[in-house]
Structure formats: structure tokens, C-alpha cells
């Protein structure tokens, strides 16, 4: 990895400073560098792109080596819920990685999209064509894909200003006493485990609304609405209130009734069509593997 150091100017945003100092880099790539823990200010890992630099501060940037990834289309079946010239809504199965990365070079949603669709947006670079937002590997459900940069920018803006709606169903460990609630914290990369996120004072704002659907013996079925989109947000917030997502071993969830990953699925997606402004709403039922657990708990 290449490490670069720069002396900071007075009262300038960190991301704007880096945009001016680094060659051939975009704001989205700078954001990824910061989120990945690759930027430090005075030897402390930076967590906020909007941090106001002060005169004399030293900014260190670690540029990860470029990995050659084969982005070939693969004939992987896709459950296409909706499609038009600007976008597509996909029901992603559990176990599918959204985009290629180290350890998952192929067999991803992106590989399937490249094969299926003629064009995809490239706002997030060549490794993430069409990807506006993400779902974890073992989180199933609805995800919107942009076929061009116009649609991508519009959809991303709706997610950023919270006008787009993303609702999940999650089975949580234990009995959640309140019928509904709001979890509002700051989330950042876990300081001791780079695979995890955590509630941190220096993290980014994260807001999740939840509503109890059913209660069972030792478990609670909930509906969770994202108001922000932090990595692992629902999983981290569930752990934060001491009711981790069932099956989520990474965050301490019980694997007694299900050991195949977190019981979390994106069931509803709402947004305005980027070109027509029409209100779009998509809703699905929880998948069969999730239903089978619910049936056992009801019984």
C-alpha cells in the first residue's frame, strides 16, 4: 500500500482537501477511503468526510493496491420484481454478495446484472455498476439498481435526504417490551474488529424505527425502517438494545432456531421514479427459510 502525507490548510473539509490533493479520484472514492479507515489526521483515524481541518494538521492517506477483478457477466437467475429503461428492482436471495470484492470475485449480484442488462450506471466505479445501495450477503430482499447515471444520482439523493423508504422484517432475540421505538446513535467501524461496525461517539448518525409484529417465546418479530443507511445498521442497533438479530453470530445473535445467518429481509421499498416523479412502491413477503422459522415459533 502507498502512504501519502499532506499538510492541511485552515478550515477546509477533509474530503474537499483530499479531492484537491489527490489525482484521478472522485468524491465517492474518497468517501470509501475514509470509511475503510485509510485516512488519518494527526495519526488518528478519520471517520467524517466533513471534518474541518486546522492549519498544521497532517493528513495521512493509505492507498490500497488496485485489485484486478474480473467483471464478467454470469448467467445467474435473478428475481426481477420491476424493470424499465432507468432502473430495476431485484429480490436478492440470501447468500448472494452484492458486488465483487476480495474473497468474492464472482457469483455476485453485479455479475448477474452485467449479464442481464445492457447498461448500468458507473457512478460508483467499475466494480459497482448499477449499485445505489447494498444489502449484506445474508440479508435477502429488495434492492434498486440504476441503469444510467441520471437515475443513479436521483435515487442516491432520495436515499440521502431520507425521502426513499426501506423497510425490513427482522427476528430479534428476546422479548422486545415496547411496541415501537426509535433507535438513534452514531455508528462507525469497530475499533477492535474491522469486520464489524459499532455504536461510537465519533461515528455517523444512524436512525432506525422499529415496530413489533409478533412476540414468541424468547423471540420478537419486528418491522424496521431505515432513516439512514449505515453499514450493518439494523444489526448494530439490534445489538445496541440487547436484542440482536436472530442467527447473526457476528453480533451475538442466537443460532438455536436458525444458524444460517441473520434473519433479516428487506420487504418494502418506496421512492419516486427518477424520470417521471411517480410514486413507486414494492413489497414482498418474507422468504421461505424465514417463514419456516416463524411457523416453528408460532407452533
Distance of alpha carbon 110 from alpha carbon 96, whole angstroms: 10
Tell me if 212 is assigned to some domain. Answer: yes
Per-residue pLDDT at 136 exceeds 80: yes
Instruction: For residues 93 and 184, state if they share a domain.
Output: no
Give DSSP secondary structure letters for 280-297: EEEE-PPPHHHHHHHHHH
Q: Give percent above pLDDT 90 in the chain.
A: 67
* 23 or 39: which leads in pLDDT: 39
Q: How many domains does the chain have?
A: 3
pLDDT score of 197: 92
Distance of alpha carbon 298 from alpha carbon 189, whole angstroms: 37
Is 193 a catalytic site residue? no
Q: How does pLDDT run across 79-93, given as a tens digit for each residue?
A: 999 999 999 999 999
Q: How does pLDDT run across 26-43, given as a tens digit for each residue?
A: 777 788 888 888 899 888
pLDDT score of 70: 55
Domain that holds residue 21: 2-63
Tell me if 274 is assigned to some domain. Answer: no
pLDDT score of 5: 63
**CATH code assigned at 82:** 3.30.2350.10
pLDDT band at 100 (very low <50, low <70, confident <90, very high): confident
Tell me if 191 is assigned to some domain. Answer: yes
Per-residue pLDDT at 8 exceeds 70: no
By DSSP bridging, strand 44-45 and strand 52-53 are unpaired
Please name the residue that has the C-alpha cell 454470469: 74
Per-residue pLDDT at 66 exceeds 60: no
Instruction: For residues 186 and 222, state if they share a domain.
Output: yes
C-alpha to C-alpha distances, 52 to 57, 75, 162, 209, 260, nearest whole angstrom: 10, 47, 25, 31, 43
Distance of alpha carbon 113 from alpha carbon 187, whole angstroms: 30
Per-residue pLDDT at 233 exceeds 70: yes
Tell me if 102 is assigned to some domain. Answer: yes
pLDDT score of 248: 98
pLDDT score of 4: 60
Distance of alpha carbon 42 from alpha carbon 61, whole angstroms: 11
Least trusted range by pLDDT, from 90-104, 111-125, 153-167, 248-262: 90-104
CB atoms within 10 A of CB 107: 14
Tell me if 271 is assigned to some domain. Answer: no
The stretches of 22-131 forming alpha helices (DSSP H) are 27-35, 109-116
Q: Give percent above pLDDT 70 in the chain.
A: 93
Tell me if 234 is assigned to some domain. Answer: yes
Per-residue pLDDT at 126 exceeds 90: no
Instruction: For residues 143 and 73, state if they share a domain.
Output: yes
Instruction: For residues 146 and 234, state if they share a domain.
Output: no
Per-residue pLDDT at 1 exceeds 70: no
Point out the catalytic residue in the list 136, 138, 173, 248.
136
Q: How does pLDDT run across 265-280, given as a tens digit for each residue?
A: 999 999 999 999 999 9
pTM of the model: 0.78
* 242 or 57: which leads in pLDDT: 242
Q: How does pLDDT run across 155-193, given as a tens digit for each residue?
A: 999 999 999 999 999 999 999 999 999 999 999 888 888
Tell me if 149 is assigned to some domain. Answer: yes
Tell me if 275 is assigned to some domain. Answer: no
Which of residues 43, 63, 83 is at a domain's end? Answer: 63
Amino acid at each position: 500500500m502507498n502512504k501519502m502525507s499532506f499538510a492541511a490548510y485552515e478550515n477546509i473539509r477533509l474530503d474537499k482537501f483530499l479531492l484537491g490533493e489527490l489525482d484521478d479520484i472522485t468524491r465517492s472514492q474518497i468517501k470509501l477511503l475514509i470509511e475503510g479507515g485509510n485516512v488519518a489526521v494527526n495519526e488518528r483515524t478519520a471517520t467524517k468526510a466533513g471534518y474541518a481541518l486546522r492549519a498544521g494538521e497532517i493528513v495521512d492517506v493509505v492507498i490500497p493496491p488496485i485489485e484486478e477483478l474480473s467483471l464478467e457477466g454470469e448467467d445467474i437467475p435473478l428475481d426481477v420484481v420491476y424493470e424499465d429503461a432507468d432502473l430495476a428492482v431485484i429480490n436478492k436471495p440470501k447468500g448472494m454478495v452484492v458486488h465483487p470484492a476480495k474473497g468474492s470475485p464472482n457469483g455476485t449480484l453485479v455479475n448477474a446484472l452485467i449479464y442481464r442488462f445492457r447498461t448500468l450506471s458507473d457512478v460508483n466505479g467499475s466494480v459497482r455498476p448499477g449499485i445505489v445501495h447494498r444489502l449484506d450477503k445474508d440479508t435477502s430482499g429488495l434492492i434498486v439498481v440504476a441503469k444510467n447515471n441520471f437515475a443513479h444520482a436521483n435515487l442516491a439523493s432520495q436515499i440521502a435526504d431520507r425521502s426513499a423508504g426501506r423497510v425490513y422484517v427482522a427476528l430479534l432475540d428476546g422479548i422486545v417490551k415496547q411496541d415501537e421505538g426509535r433507535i438513534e446513535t452514531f455508528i462507525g467501524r469497530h475499533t477492535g474488529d474491522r469486520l464489524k461496525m459499532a455504536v461510537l461517539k465519533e461515528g455517523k448518525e444512524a436512525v432506525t424505527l422499529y415496530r413489533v409484529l409478533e412476540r414468541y417465546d424468547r423471540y420478537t418479530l419486528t418491522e424496521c425502517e431505515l432513516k439512514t443507511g449505515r453499514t450493518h445498521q439494523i444489526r448494530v442497533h439490534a445489538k445496541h438494545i440487547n436484542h440482536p438479530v436472530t442467527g447473526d453470530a457476528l453480533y451475538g445473535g442466537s443460532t438455536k432456531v436458525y444458524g444460517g445467518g441473520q434473519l433479516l429481509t428487506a420487504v418494502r421499498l418506496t421512492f419516486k421514479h427518477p424520470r417521471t416523479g411517480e410514486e413507486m412502491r414494492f413489497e414482498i413477503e418474507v422468504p421461505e427459510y424465514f417463514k419456516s422459522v416463524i411457523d416453528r415459533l408460532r407452533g
